[in-house]
Structure 1
Amino acid sequence: MAEKRERKALKRGLSALMADVAPTPPAGEEPARSADIVVPVDQISPNPDQPRRIFQPGALEELASSIREKGIIQPLILRRDPADEGRFQIVAGERRWRAAQMAQVHAVPAIIREFDDTEVLEIAIIENIQRADLNAMEEAAGYRQLMERFGHTQERLAEALGKSRSHIANTMRLLDLPMEIQTLVQDGKLTAGHARALITAEDPLGLAGLIVRKGLSVREAERLAKKPKASAPKPAAPQKDADTRALESDLSAALSMGVSIDHTPGEEAGRITIRYKTLDDLDELCRRLTAQGE
């Protein structure tokens, strides 16, 4: 019974929860849903488990300016604070809450939902994945969290998020890259296209450094990643001593065939190779070897 409830919660988490975390509509458009209530900003607390820890001041100021001019278009999603029934906790919309305070807005429109801690974390991850400024590594980490923590499959994520399964699979492959490369992607020094090209490179770290130093395009990076690595030169064959070369010459003259003697260094064993040009030469060689035994 508990397992059935868990499966039901997961299904709700990816369908109904996705509807609650809809992207903010463009400026000038009416919100898709009306707010349940208007809540004073000082009665709202951020989600302590919010995966997003960094809020860019410039982006917040831009949103604050929009709020001063047009107000908050998309309501926040809140729940009753588990530690204080008289307060609310943010489920989705922390950027709007922070920007509203910068704009000196004292109350915000909100939709109240009853979510447990697991659902709140799931929504927070989904909301982060939908961010416009999300870098590829953050996106990949979000997909992995949804799959590992909540049991979602790539197919289910693709359907719910409106993305192709191959996009989700290829994005998650970036998590297999060395941490140095992942950091370059997070810092904006490499694009997602560069990172995908590095997945199949024989020396991803070396190629990543070259891309950054020379400012290579994604196409140039892909071409270099496919370029086969130069094979190591074969070790030179050991030089034969004068006695061995003289013996090869004598046997070649006696048989009228090419003879090669390869002596194993440091041992008494070796190999003689006799090269014939025609079947008649082979018959002659066999005759001579047989005659020696008669």
Structure 2
Amino acid sequence: MAEGRRGLGRGLSALMDEVDPAIAAQQGARSRAETPIELIQPNPDQPRRSFPEAEIEELAQSIREKGVLQPILLRPAPRAPGRFEIVVGERRWRAAQRAGLVAVPAVVRELDDLQVLEIAIVENVQREDLNALEEAMAYKALLERFGRTQEAVARAVSKSRSHVANTLRLLQLPPAVQDHVAAGRLSAGHARAIAASENAAALAERIVAAGLSVREAETMARADKGAPRKAAARKAGSKDADTLALEHDLAEVLGLDVGIVDHGGAGELTIRYETLEQLDDLCRRLTRG
């Protein structure tokens, strides 16, 4: 694996300042220089899609007063000779235009499409600039376009595999729920809480309308998911008080839904989890010691 790839998890400084000079020369890195804004174009695969107007104006005001303090990272535009494509720093580029600058400090590197996408994802994730849906779409691009595994993606962005897997699950939500996440009305935690529900869209509307916390959303999703099971249990016949009490005690200890079916001393114990984090936590509990 190339040195640049090993340094991805350490952020942009590893890519611009801490690369060995010999490697930088081999990869065709160029020194920092003022680059005309008119020669710079955004990356069409930029993971971040939302650039709030207020945020750009605030940064533009800072640039008017202090200038661009950190150079943006560019590469030669693959299909536009003489121009440059943004790898990291589109927000600064937009704000610099708003501030009236004609050039910005930049570092130009020779990077392929996979490196560009990985670097952009790492930088945005570290700065927490992506909403959960943008993050999920970026991971999906690494998986589908570049053949990365979830484990490899997790290493690249310094996240757990379960985090990557659960973030990707957001793309399975109904479009209406995804819209709430993209607009910031629902957090990733809210979305994960209702991801397994057949009534996710309706639950999302209730969460947004009532301003529920993630914990409250989880409770509501469990109640919604448990309603059909409880109805089926009533139809099939009620469990005895001892079985119900044991289910309740185990659920309290594990923090998960527990079901017990007893047939005269033999039966089944079912533990239901809704996220990989819950499964990881259960495994740690069961294997402790």
- Do the aligned partners of residues 78 and 206 (structure 1) sit closer, same or farther apart at CA in structure 2, a change above 3 Å counting? closer
Aligned-pair distance for 1:59?
A: 0.9
Rounded to whole Å, the distance in 2 between the matches of 1:49 and 1:143 is 12
Higher mean displacement: 221-230 or 75-84: 75-84
Q: In the alignment, does 2:91 pair up with 1:95?
A: yes
Q: Which has the higher contact order (CA 8 A, sep 6+)?
A: 2
CA distances 1:250-274 after superposition (whole Å, capped 9, x unpaired): xxxxxxxxxxxxxxxxxxxxxxxxx
Rounded to whole Å, the distance in 2 between the matches of 1:22 and 1:147 is 25
User: What aligned pairs does 1:258-269 form with structure 2 within 5 A after superposition?
Assistant: none
State the match for 2:186 in structure 1.
190
State the match for 2:36 in structure 1.
40
2:161 aligned partner, one-letter code = R
State the match for 1:201 in structure 2.
197
Contact 1:202 1:225 in 2 (8 A): no
- Do the aligned partners of residues 20 and 84 (structure 1) sit closer, same or farther apart at CA in structure 2, a change above 3 Å counting? farther
CA distances 1:28-65 after superposition (whole Å, capped 9, x unpaired): xxx95795222122232333454544422211111112
Aligned residues: 219
Q: In the alignment, does 2:11 pair up with 1:15?
A: no
State the match for 1:70 in structure 2.
66
Q: Percent identity?
A: 54
Rounded to whole Å, the distance in 2 between the matches of 1:125 and 1:47 is 12
Q: In the alignment, does 2:151 pair up with 1:151?
A: no
Aligned-pair distance for 1:196?
A: 1.0
State the match for 2:102 in structure 1.
106
Secondary structure of the corresponding residue to residue 86 of structure 1: coil
- Do the aligned partners of residues 42 and 210 (structure 1) sit closer, same or farther apart at CA in structure 2, a change above 3 Å counting? closer
Aligned-pair distance for 1:198?
A: 0.3
- Do the aligned partners of residues 40 and 202 (structure 1) sit closer, same or farther apart at CA in structure 2, a change above 3 Å counting? closer
2:57 aligned partner, one-letter code = E
Q: Counting helix residues as a fraction of each chain, which structure ranks higher?
A: 2
Contact 1:194 1:221 in 2 (8 A): yes
Aligned-pair distance for 1:82?
A: 4.1
Aligned-pair distance for 1:211?
A: 1.5
Whose radius of gyration is greater, 1 or 2? 1
2:108 aligned partner, one-letter code = I
- Do the aligned partners of residues 13 and 102 (structure 1) sit closer, same or farther apart at CA in structure 2, a change above 3 Å counting? same
TM-score, with length taken from structure 2? 0.64
Secondary structure of the corresponding residue to residue 146 of structure 1: helix
State the match for 1:217 in structure 2.
213
Higher mean displacement: 219-228 or 110-119: 110-119
2:178 aligned partner, one-letter code = Q
